[in-house]
Amino acid sequence: MTLALKELLYKMADDQLILGHRNSEWTGMGPLLEEDIAFSSMAQDKIGQSLALYTILQALGEQDPDTVAFTRNANQFHNCQLVELPNQEYDFSLIRHFLFDTAEALRFEMLTNSSYEPLAQLAKKIRGELRYHTLHANTWIKQLGSATPESTERLQKSLDYAMPFALGIFEPSPNEQELITTGIFEGEVALQKKWLAKVESVISQTKLTLPDLKSIKPELGGRKGIHTDHLQPLLDEMSEVFKIDPTAEW
Amino acid sequence: MYGGGNTFEGIKTDSIASEDPILLAAFEARIERGEKIEPTDWMPQLYRKQLIRMIEQHAHSEIIGALPEGTWITRAPGFKRKMSLMAKVQDEVGHAQLLYSAAETLGKPREKMIEDLINGKSKYSNIFNYPTFTWADCCFISWLVDAGAIVNQLANAKGSYGPYCRALDRICAEESFHLKYGHHCVIYLASGTAVQKQMFQEALNRWWPPMMHFFGPADKISAHTEVLMRWKVKMGTNDEMRNQFLDMYVPKIWELGFTIPDPNLKKDTETGKWNYTEPDWEEFKRVINGDGPCNKERLEVRRIAEERGKWVRDALKTSRQAYVSPLA
């Protein structure tokens, strides 16, 4: 049971850490000051959420959060590939934020009923933060998804590009069945179903078209430690100072 | 809709000679009594112009200042520093937002101010034209550049223009956390390994000259500011601000075991003033006029960010225009 639980906690924590890191790269670079600030807020929430999840893992016998986050290599990370992709233009960052946070908000909503009490408690807290993330994403998707020909076209292109990676969010972990049986987590299939309904309802209020999911091959592998070429350079950058002397206090 | 019915573009007057003497006397009397001037109140054109220049420059400094520190967010060592630095730099961007709004009350739109930043027409704090090579450079900014900014901002918060003072009150409250964060980072470097100590000493050596420049040219060579002091636009001379900074922070730097690269730095116990080697004001002029180590890079980053974000801002405008169009 512990192994299955750790798999779940690691993939969630890694997702939050890596996307938080990517969001923080918008600092000083946003299309307008207000978005700069918004992406920074979401980055802080996500990094904080990953810290909380790594802290639960530490209680389960794993190493301390700093060591876990700052010293592992890419093949030891279990985040989905969607979150590690470079920010690119704002349209991609926004679409990723929308697709990922819609799933994340639902995931934590489901986890408020988890039989594993520390996770249920944490989910109740995080759920509130994620509500703002999805509110932010939905507002912008609705706005830019119908505003000008350029904004609509950009969002559509990014949506088509991101969708196979978004389906990779729901790649099940090897021991997932145990989580379902013990009531820790309802599983990725159940989550994907809820996610699709939410995504469809927002997209239907725009001029965008949701790609036909049946024709898409999901980009899998992230949950097993298989990543794009973008993750290792991100981790190298993240640990640049930390690794000067991992025993030092910074 | 802007205060006084004037816009920045309309300002031609550079002196107070053409102002209505009765209104001017009443305005000066209000400032003398310690009253705040509000956007819709009458004010001399020179006052408006100087305030726009000052607040705009301050706003630009916040947004450009986010770059040398922002580049260390992705490299900050450990969760504690990563989260704090993100919040700190976010505050700086928030300050820019507050300050652009304060300047807008005087009649210059944010878009125009950012345009003037990118085309080099308006300036920002010179210190951000220097590079942050190491984590310790970033810590120097968080602690000591913010400390310098607080010295200036606390003084300016007692100025005469209401919206700017209120923005500064909020900014100073946040800056005091930045100062604590920066000091905390430096304490850890000071009490850390030999590598960490050396890292900060080297940063201090690099940043000391720009830090001395930070408060502006020495009073004896700086422009005449008497009227700006009378109108409480400028609240202290450059040398006064510099002296206050040295008085507050040199002992703290020494206390942590670091040396300051100026053999003449010493407090005169009789006058209470600090003696120091006069910084190279030619370098200051050179850098402020565009020839510093990072001027081009900083403005280029800002220009690219504006250019890449244009379609987003255009998409917002389109929708809003459609929404407010009269139906008949």
**Nearest neighbour of A66 by CB, restricted to B79, B196, B308:** B79
Q: Using CA atoms, how far apart are residues A140 and A45, in angstroms rounded to an integer? A: 19
> Is B89 in CB contact (< 8 Å) with chain A?
yes
Cβ neighbour number for residue B102 with a 10 Å cutoff: 24
pLDDT tier, B317 (very low <50, low <70, confident <90, very high otherwise): confident
Kindly tell me the number of DSSP H helices and DSSP E strands found in chain B. Answer: 12, 2
Contacts 24+ apart (CB under 8 A), B101-105: B101/B163, B101/B167, B102/B55, B102/B161, B102/B163, B102/B164, B102/B166, B102/B167, B103/B51, B103/B52, B103/B55, B103/B56, B103/B59, B104/B2, B105/B2, B105/B3, B105/B39, B105/B163
pLDDT of B181 > 60? The answer is yes
Q: Between the CA of residue B327 and those of B21, B319, B322, what are the distances in Å?
A: 48, 15, 10
Residues 128-157 of B with CB under 8 A from A: 135
Q: Which range of residues forms the domain containing residue B41?
A: 3-289
Contact between chains at B83 and A21 (C-beta distance less than 8 A) = no
Q: Using CA atoms, how far apart are residues B89 and A40, in angstroms rounded to an integer? A: 9
Q: Tell me if B305 is assigned to some domain.
A: no
CA A14 to chain centre: 8
Contact between residue B245 and residue B148 where contact means Cβ atoms under 8 Å apart: yes
Q: Tell me if B295 is assigned to some domain.
A: no
Average the pLDDT over B272-281 and give the result: 95
Residues of B in contact with A66 (CB under 8 A): 78-79
pLDDT of B4 > 80? The answer is no
Q: Tell me if B236 is assigned to some domain.
A: yes
Q: Which CATH number do you get for residue B60?
A: 1.20.1260.10
> Is A150 in CB contact (< 8 Å) with chain B?
yes
Domain coordinates in residue numbering, chain A = 2-244
> Is B75 in CB contact (< 8 Å) with chain A?
yes
Average the pLDDT over B168-180 and give the result: 95
Contact between chains at A40 and B135 (C-beta distance less than 8 A) = no
Average the pLDDT over B15-20 and give the result: 84
Residues of B in contact with A43 (CB under 8 A): 86
> Is A55 in CB contact (< 8 Å) with chain B?
no
Q: Using CA atoms, how far apart are residues A175 and A3, in angstroms rounded to an integer? A: 8
Contact between chains at B66 and A237 (C-beta distance less than 8 A) = no
**Nearest neighbour of A240 by CB, restricted to B75, B79, B86:** B75
Q: Using CA atoms, how far apart are residues A73 and B65, in angstroms rounded to an integer? A: 32
Does domain A2-244 sit in CATH 1.20.1260.10?
Answer: yes
Contact between residue B232 and residue B158 where contact means Cβ atoms under 8 Å apart: yes
B100: closest CA of chain A, how far (Å): 10
**In this prediction, what percent of chain B has a pLDDT beyond 70?**
91
**Nearest neighbour of B314 by CB, restricted to A29, A30, A148:** A148
Q: Measuring CA to CA, which residue among A119, A112, A113, A104 is closest to residue A4?
A: A119
Query: For residue range A190-215, what is the model confidence (pLDDT) as tens digits?
Result: 999 999 999 999 999 999 999 999 99
Residues of A in contact with B195 (CB under 8 A): 244-245, 248
Q: Tell me if B297 is assigned to some domain.
A: no
Contact between chains at B100 and A29 (C-beta distance less than 8 A) = no
> Is A153 in CB contact (< 8 Å) with chain B?
no
Residues of A in contact with B91 (CB under 8 A): none
Tell me the HSE value of A159 on the side-chain side, using a 13 A CA sphere: 22
Kindly tell me the number of DSSP H helices and DSSP E strands found in chain A. Answer: 10, 0
> Is A71 in CB contact (< 8 Å) with chain B?
no
Contact between chains at A147 and B319 (C-beta distance less than 8 A) = yes
Chain B residue with Cα closest to A50:
B79
Query: For residue range A13-25, what is the model confidence (pLDDT) as tens digits?
Result: 999 999 999 999 9
φ/ψ (deg, to 5) at B161: -95, 115
Residues of A in contact with B83 (CB under 8 A): 44, 47-48, 51
| pLDDT at res. B98 | 96
Q: Using CA atoms, how far apart are residues B48 and A8, in angstroms rounded to an integer? A: 59
Q: Using CA atoms, how far apart are residues B20 and B28, in angstroms rounded to an integer? A: 12
pLDDT tier, A43 (very low <50, low <70, confident <90, very high otherwise): very high
Torsion of CA A148, A154, A158, A159, to 10 degrees: 30
pLDDT of B141 > 70? The answer is yes
Query: For residue range A215-242, what is the model confidence (pLDDT) as tens digits?
Result: 999 999 999 999 999 999 999 999 999 9
Average the pLDDT over A167-193 and give the result: 97
Average the pLDDT over B104-108 and give the result: 96
Contact between residue B45 and residue B6 where contact means Cβ atoms under 8 Å apart: yes
> Is B114 in CB contact (< 8 Å) with chain A?
no
Q: What rounded mean pLDDT belongs to chain B?
A: 91
Size of interface A-B (CB pairs under 8 A): 134
| pLDDT at res. B7 | 29
How many domains are there within chain B?
A: 1
Q: Tell me if B313 is assigned to some domain.
A: no
> Is B192 in CB contact (< 8 Å) with chain A?
yes
Q: Using CA atoms, how far apart are residues A34 and A240, in angstroms rounded to an integer? A: 30
Q: Using CA atoms, how far apart are residues A186 and A93, in angstroms rounded to an integer? A: 28
| pLDDT at res. B318 | 62
Residue A11 in 3-state DSSP? Answer: helix
Longest C-alpha distance within chain A, in Å? 53
Q: Between the CA of residue B191 and those of A13, A192, B69, B196, B259, what are the distances in Å?
A: 32, 50, 22, 8, 15
φ/ψ (deg, to 5) at A176: -60, -35
Q: What is the pTM of this model?
A: 0.93
Report the range out of A10-24, B213-227, B282-296 with the highest average pLDDT: A10-24
Chain A residue with Cα closest to B100:
A33
Q: Using CA atoms, how far apart are residues B281 and A35, in angstroms rounded to an integer? A: 38
> Is B195 in CB contact (< 8 Å) with chain A?
yes
| pLDDT at res. B9 | 35
Q: Which residue has the tokens 């920066």?
A: B182
Average the pLDDT over B252-274 and give the result: 97
Contact between residue B165 and residue B159 where contact means Cβ atoms under 8 Å apart: yes
**Nearest neighbour of B312 by CB, restricted to A41, A90, A248:** A90
> Is B97 in CB contact (< 8 Å) with chain A?
yes
B197: closest CA of chain A, how far (Å): 11
Chain A residue with Cα closest to B305:
A29
> Is B102 in CB contact (< 8 Å) with chain A?
no
> Is A161 in CB contact (< 8 Å) with chain B?
no
Q: Measuring CA to CA, which residue among B204, B206, B214, B213 is closest to residue B278?
A: B213
